[in-house]
Structure 1
Amino acid sequence: MKTLFARGVPHLAALVATAPVMASLPYAPAQAQATRITVPALPLAEALQRIETATGATVVYDGTAIGDSMSMPVIDATTALDAVRQATGRLAVSVRADETGRIIVTGAGDIVVTARRDEAETGLLVRATTTSSRTGQALRDQPRNTQVISSRLLEEQQAQTMTDALRNAGVTVNTATVQGGVGYSVRGFGAGGLVNGLPAAGSDGSGIAGTTQPIANIERIEVLKGPDALLAGIESLGGTINIVTKKPSAETRLAMAAETGSYGQGRLTIDANRAIDADGTVSARVIGAASTADRNYGGYRGNKDFLFAPGLRFKNATTDLIVSASVGEQKFGPTPFVPLNPRTNRPFDVTTTQPLFRRKDQGIEINTTQFAADMTQKVTDWLTVVARGQHQKTYVNVQQYSPFGVFPSGDGRMAISNSRSAQGLNSDAVDVYARFKVATGPLDHLLVAGYTYVDNDTTAFSSSTSTVLTYNFLTATQPPRDFAPINRTDSISSSTQNGYYAQYLMKAWKLSLLAGVRHNVVDTASQFLVWRETASNHSVATTPNFGLVFDVTDDIALFGSLAYGYAPTSSIGRDRRKLPDIKSRNAEAGVKITLFGDRMLINASYFRLRQSNLIITDPTDFLFPIAVPGLQSTGIDLNLSGEILRGWTMQGAYTRTDYKYLTPSDFGNVVVAQPKDNYSLYTSYRHSFDTALSGGVGAGLFGRSSASVDMTGSYYVPPARQIDLNVFLKSGAIDVNLGLRNLFDRRNYNVTYSSTYLPVAEPRNWRLTVGYRFR
């Protein structure tokens, strides 16, 4: 298996190794076109100073009018005046050049700042943070390795699911589930899920948070590597996936996109946005999407979804208030799979283009309603208050035969359950904090103090008449017995989380020091109605974190961090005692480099992540869980994102991780479903033929190394590699994107925890998207 994977890694390594060579490429055209000016989004005063330095022009501005407003990114401006006008954007300021050539920026009274489209919607490289940092630091200035997947990238790649999106970030995705969700792990440990910085339905471990967010409403996905109990509270042991939804802006925009492709799929998306008052301080946005398909690539029911997401925003110089809602419905078939033959220890030779159990209508239905509000209020120059609230209601209905085990004879007989199941989840979350900024001599201080409240309720339903059947998937021509109806409530559980936190950031010279602490109180209660039992748990934990950033130059920064994660458990062992809570610790050091005039960001780090213990099913009694020794992962994490040359963009990630258990185990010592290597590299180039016509091509390589199915290492899922290709054409308001996924039709399998459920990845298929912007 190492030899199979070895063919894939050198290609990625070779591409990454060319970065130093590529770094010299932009300077030749820069010398030929010395007036090209590019400046990232910065505090406006700093952006104007950079324009002065780059052009030699004199820029005079009214500091009172500008305040600490943020600039718009400046991209390939040809003159200093053009650069200043791009930087000021929709700020209510006057920009003019006087008779001596000086550029004058003035404003009258209070400055009115209108909402703009986020940079994640307009470009590949995202510099500014959103809800993943309460200090307000840019991503480059944070002492951790963070990768951002922008909506612009998702559009280019024609991503339709979170699984499609997270291929770009070195995240291991487990699709071998029959409970209606997808599991994610970062660096070998479970990843917590947030939506707009708040824990979502299922964030207490009762479900998968965020996986049902429709791609059409996602502005960006922030993958925070390493535990972050300070931000997420609980369940963030290896990392955090923060999904940021799209926001209204003052830009007038009406766009529509239609998509078709393999398996009879069709999708229509409409995005309407505009300011609704004269000065642009109030804006509204409505996103609607609907899709259907005849079937999925495994012959199961076709994926269908519906989304309606309105939002309203008020933004001026001191207040930014967003109120939004989304209503979504998703129906999708299960990932096709094959079992392992216990006699040959190889996958059964069965077709994967039709359901293994001869029934097409298996699948999952998810209905989600979400209401959210987010307010940032600048009270004074030294005090900002942020308040966020979110309500989510989710209902999951699963109609799918569940495999329990293959008979040792290897003749195709399998034990399966015909039970249907469902789950209702309700979540309410509130996060309020204050951010104070002061300066004492050469030191800048920032203090954050806040409180988080999360309430989750989960109700599980199943069938009292279900049974375990014996079914021969090699010889049967008819489906198994029909699904048993859902007719009983199995359990009702609830959890509340109260989190109190504080962060302190100090800046002096080129050094930034960060320290934080969170005190968490979690109460859970469960009623197991079938067994007429109850259980409750009260858990208290205090978790600190520390970090530093040192700016070696304007383009190179070193960082280090020590962060902790925490997950309370209410699992009861066979001796009727509660199993221990799970804790994790991550020590990390790395470097951040900006290249090509701040158009590309590279993060590289070395990490050591340790988890105190694991909860697994008792191999001697499947009815009970047990705690086994914890796990340690050590490795390197590299990611890059941005523009190499004008029109040529690149995004890549590579994570190499070595795993080991803290102490040897009697049940085996191989880490399950965790590949040593995860990698991705996507690049695209667009060329303008004239002012109305442009075209380009994009290509991506996504893969991982082998991963064990069990702790004994009896079978490894082979390495996976997939190459995708996209061709773009834009003519006026029409935008066309033709994509081929798994170009070479390679048979890939996804990671799994079960020898009876080896998920099959997508074969070669195509997608065609045609977009039209009305205004």
Structure 2
Amino acid sequence: MEHRLHKKNMALLAALQGVLAPVALSIPAVAAAQQVASREDSPISVPPGDLAETLRRIGEASGHSVTYDPDAVKGMMSPGVKKAHSLRAAILEAVRGHDLAIRVEDDGSFVIFQPIAAGPSDIIVTAQRDEAETNYRVNKTTTSDRSGGTLRSLPQNTAVVSDKLMRDQQAQSVTEALRNVAGVASFANNGTGLTSATVRGFEVTPLRNGTGPTASGGNPSAGIEPTANIERIEVLKGPAAILAGQSNIGGTINVVTKKPTADPLLVLSGEYQSRDSFKGTIDASNALVPSKVLSARIVAEVQGADRSYGGSIGRKEKFLSPSLRYKKSGSDFTIGLTTSEQREAIPFWTIINTVPDSATPVGGLISRDRYVVGRKSASISANSTRLYGDFTQAVTPWLDLVARGEHYTQTVDQIPINVIDTLDYGKLLAFNSHALDKTRGDSVDGYGRFQFSTFGIKHTLVTGYNYTRTNIRHFDAPSTMVEVDFLDPTATIAEPEPVLPNPSYIIGFRENAVYAQELLEYGPVHLSLGIRRTWFVSTAFLDGFGDTEPAKAVSTVPAFGLVVDLSPSVSVFGNYSKGYIPTTEVSFTGEKLPDIRSTNKEIGVKADLFDKRASLVVSLFDTRQNNLLIPDPAHPGYAISIIGGRRARGIDGTLTGQLLRGLNANLTYSYTKYDYANASAAAAAGSVYIPGQPAHKYNAFLSYDPQNAFVGGAIGLSGYSRTYAQVGLPGYRIPGGSQVDGNVYFKKGGARLNIGVKNLLDKRLYQATSNPLFVPIADGRTITATLSYRFF
């Protein structure tokens, strides 16, 4: 076994060497790259003199474009620039005292001109559409990094699913969009309709705009954000406790919503999908004042479906999101409100047979036609309201203050099919239940970002405070045990009773944290350091038992990362990071079980390709837990801790962007080996397999959509290898599968028609699960037609 593992590791290293081979050819360019990087990172100093000459020398010293209106600066003198640490700071210092305006262009260059009305040295920075709304490749981070750098400067494997990619694919949900990310898996939780996402086999923290209460692993409503309001989805692979706090073992999924733009935008779209599903969307934005410093945006959507693929009730949705943005000079303030009502049916499903001498072999999936099992009303509904804000203010050329936060309320109504046992072939025992969760939460993250230089080293220092609070009130209806005839299309079960007026339990979570991060840059070397100290408190009220003793925990989590630029287009990186989940459970003997921690080690390469229109990221990783909590087989209702938890090792890579004029691509692949670090102890406790995690996962999407062509098209292929359906013996498995999708685009003026077919071959695709008595089945062939018109 050791010999085989060694050979696999050697194979992975060989694969990485193959990726790095082109890098070796570019080594002669490293010296030139270092000179460019040194010029960009060095403080800018220019003596007093003619303003036009000063601006020219600033551009020359920084390596960036600085243009100006000669008539506007004619005869003006500049006080000079002394050790400015950024191009922006240098220009502000150079024009100090003059009535000039400065505009930042899309490419990051600066234009100096005489404004119609402006204060001295105002920078006119108008809000524009984010690059994620127009490109597959995204260069800049938004709220998933506090240093303000680019994705290439982050010392970890980070993937971005852009709004442009989701629109081309006609993605209907966050879960569907995450198919584009290597190493991310989604699987169903029993029959509730809820799904969970993992990164490299471990728990993740879902955030929205970089914030989110951490109950149940993060912002509970981030995953149900309509794609019409999503600018991008950022996936940080590996623990990111410095950013996201606890419940962060495998990574972070950050949903970034759309922001107002000062450029006029009005897009109306209508969509029809198989099974009589209709959707209408409006996306409108514009400046509210002539100076364009104040803008607003509104995104609204209404959807209704007659039925689901499995024959139960169809999806319904109402969504409204107005937002307001003030952007000028060093100020960028956004506030917004979202309100939504959603209903989603549980997916079409089957079970793994466990009864011998039946029509289906033991361990086989029972094949059935599409009909409703139990009742059509089995679904999950969610109503939510969210008020949020994001504020950035440049106080001085070397200090930015940033604050973001949100307050949200959410009600989730679950009418599931909870199968708990098999009575006979096709005869199931289930809970006829009904549950309601009312959640309220607040989150605030504020920090200062300092930029300065010492001895030729450029520093970006971030220090801040993070606070989150979540309260969940859970209501249950009286539940009964019912027999479900799985193979009888006419069999029904009664509707569940309404939930009781008093909560079954109330749980609360609160986190206070302080953190510090520093990015040190010297030429081509970028070193990241971070540390976070978190104080965690949880409370609980149980109906019939009253309040329990508050549980408290304290954790200190470090992170280290290194990026080295080998050339202007290629970098190598490595990181060492920690994740943390505090536990409140006790063993049968009354002892508190140890907290769960994870460690991630990773090395990789990042490259900008095709004249920086595309990017490549490939990395080798090793993520492991220090311990694992599992049910105590000897004492039901209690848990035990296994020292040495799960481990995931593998490789993943992503190529995304424009390969040729009009040809865009998003290509991903990941291989992950999952096991238990202490396999014998895990097996003795009944944990042998890691369910719901495919070893191989791939996705390829190619679209050809020239700007001025009348017709374009796209083809997609995604797939995954087989997975285990349970942690213990006998190790039932779900087969792997692959799906082919296709799209045809027609464009004329502002009109665009996107006709897509998902699961083109109409294959029956069984999806990952952790319960052999609930195996979701993906929708069959589905046709979607989206007609949109952009007025401006």
**Same fold flag (TM > 0.5):** yes
Q: Is the 8 A contact 1:192 1:209 kept in 2?
A: no
- Partners of 1:197 and 1:424 in 2: CA distance: 23
Instruction: Specify the alignment match of 1:477 in structure 2.
Output: 490
- Partners of 2:376 and 2:648 in 1: CA distance: 41
Q: How far 1:353 sits from its partner (Å)?
A: 2.0
Instruction: Specify the alignment match of 2:200 in structure 1.
Output: 187
Instruction: Specify the alignment match of 1:434 in structure 2.
Output: 448
Instruction: Specify the alignment match of 1:736 in structure 2.
Output: 753
Q: Is the 8 A contact 1:670 1:713 kept in 2?
A: no
- Partners of 1:294 and 1:195 in 2: CA distance: 31
Instruction: Specify the alignment match of 2:508 in structure 1.
Output: 494
Q: How far 1:69 sits from its partner (Å)?
A: 5.0
| Counterpart secondary structure, 1:755 | coil
1:209/1:578 Cα in 2 relative to 1: closer, same or farther (>3 Å)? farther
Instruction: Specify the alignment match of 1:648 in structure 2.
Output: 663
Q: Which residue identity is paired with 1:188?
A: G
- Partners of 1:179 and 1:350 in 2: CA distance: 21
Q: Which residue identity is paired with 1:733?
A: G
Mapping 1:391-410, distance limit 5 Å: 391-407=407-423, 409=424
**Pair 1:327-2:329 in alignment:** no
Structure 2 segments unaligned to the other structure (5+ residues): 1-15, 24-39, 45-55, 90-102, 356-360
**Pair 1:248-2:256 in alignment:** no
- Partners of 1:345 and 1:327 in 2: CA distance: 47
Q: How far 1:402 sits from its partner (Å)?
A: 1.1
Instruction: Specify the alignment match of 2:471 in structure 1.
Output: 457
Of residues 763, 771, 792 in structure 2, which corresponds to 1:746?
763
Q: Is the 8 A contact 1:255 1:270 kept in 2?
A: yes
Q: Is the 8 A contact 1:270 1:288 kept in 2?
A: yes
Mapping 1:206-225, distance limit 5 Å: 208=220, 210-225=222-237
Of residues 163, 170, 187 in structure 2, which corresponds to 1:174?
187
Instruction: Specify the alignment match of 1:590 in structure 2.
Output: 604
Q: Which residue identity is paired with 2:583?
A: T
Q: How far 1:213 sits from its partner (Å)?
A: 1.3
- Tell me the number of residue pairs that the alignment of Structure 1 and Structure 2 aligns: 709
- Partners of 2:649 and 2:20 in 1: CA distance: 26
- Per-residue Cα deviation, 1:320-356 (whole angstroms, up to 9, x for no partner): 0000110011011001211111032244544352212
**Pair 1:363-2:379 in alignment:** yes
- Per-residue Cα deviation, 1:111-170 (whole angstroms, up to 9, x for no partner): 211111100011111001100001111001110000000011110000111111100002
Of residues 593, 597, 600 in structure 1, which corresponds to 2:614?
600
Q: How far 1:450 sits from its partner (Å)?
A: 0.2
- Partners of 2:745 and 2:18 in 1: CA distance: 25
| Counterpart secondary structure, 2:458 | strand
Of residues 696, 699, 702 in structure 2, which corresponds to 1:677?
696
- Per-residue Cα deviation, 1:390-417 (whole angstroms, up to 9, x for no partner): 111111001122111112x4x2211111
**Pair 1:539-2:553 in alignment:** yes
1:51/1:651 Cα in 2 relative to 1: closer, same or farther (>3 Å)? farther
Q: How far 1:767 sits from its partner (Å)?
A: 0.3
Q: Is the 8 A contact 1:230 1:516 kept in 2?
A: yes
- Partners of 1:301 and 1:653 in 2: CA distance: 34
RMSD value, Cα: 3.2
Structure 1 segments unaligned to the other structure (5+ residues): 1-15, 24-41, 71-83, 96-106
Instruction: Specify the alignment match of 2:158 in structure 1.
Output: 146
- TM-score normalised per structure 2: 0.84
- Partners of 1:57 and 1:668 in 2: CA distance: 60
Give the percent of matched residue pairs that are identical in Structure 1 and Structure 2.
Answer: 34
- Partners of 2:218 and 2:450 in 1: CA distance: 36
Instruction: Specify the alignment match of 1:658 in structure 2.
Output: 673
Of residues 377, 382, 399 in structure 1, which corresponds to 2:398?
382
Of residues 519, 524, 528 in structure 1, which corresponds to 2:538?
524
Q: How far 1:18 sits from its partner (Å)?
A: 12
1:549/1:57 Cα in 2 relative to 1: closer, same or farther (>3 Å)? closer
| Counterpart secondary structure, 1:389 | strand
1:388/1:763 Cα in 2 relative to 1: closer, same or farther (>3 Å)? same
Q: Which residue identity is paired with 1:669?
A: V
1:512/1:770 Cα in 2 relative to 1: closer, same or farther (>3 Å)? same
Q: Is the 8 A contact 1:338 1:347 kept in 2?
A: no
Of residues 114, 118, 132 in structure 2, which corresponds to 1:120?
132
Q: Is the 8 A contact 1:249 1:275 kept in 2?
A: yes
| Counterpart secondary structure, 1:164 | helix
| Counterpart secondary structure, 1:360 | coil
Q: How far 1:241 sits from its partner (Å)?
A: 0.2
Compare 270-279 and 678-687 and name the one that shifted more: 678-687
**Pair 1:425-2:439 in alignment:** yes
**Pair 1:315-2:327 in alignment:** yes
- Partners of 2:244 and 2:65 in 1: CA distance: 46
Q: How far 1:20 sits from its partner (Å)?
A: 11
Q: How far 1:640 sits from its partner (Å)?
A: 1.4
Instruction: Specify the alignment match of 2:481 in structure 1.
Output: 468
Q: Is the 8 A contact 2:609 2:615 kept in 1?
A: yes
| Counterpart secondary structure, 2:503 | strand
1:108/1:633 Cα in 2 relative to 1: closer, same or farther (>3 Å)? same
Q: Is the 8 A contact 1:677 1:705 kept in 2?
A: yes
Q: How far 1:555 sits from its partner (Å)?
A: 0.8
- TM-score normalised per structure 1: 0.86
Q: How far 1:525 sits from its partner (Å)?
A: 0.6
Compare 678-687 and 476-485 and name the one that shifted more: 476-485
- Per-residue Cα deviation, 1:298-318 (whole angstroms, up to 9, x for no partner): 111100101100000000111
Instruction: Specify the alignment match of 1:702 in structure 2.
Output: 718
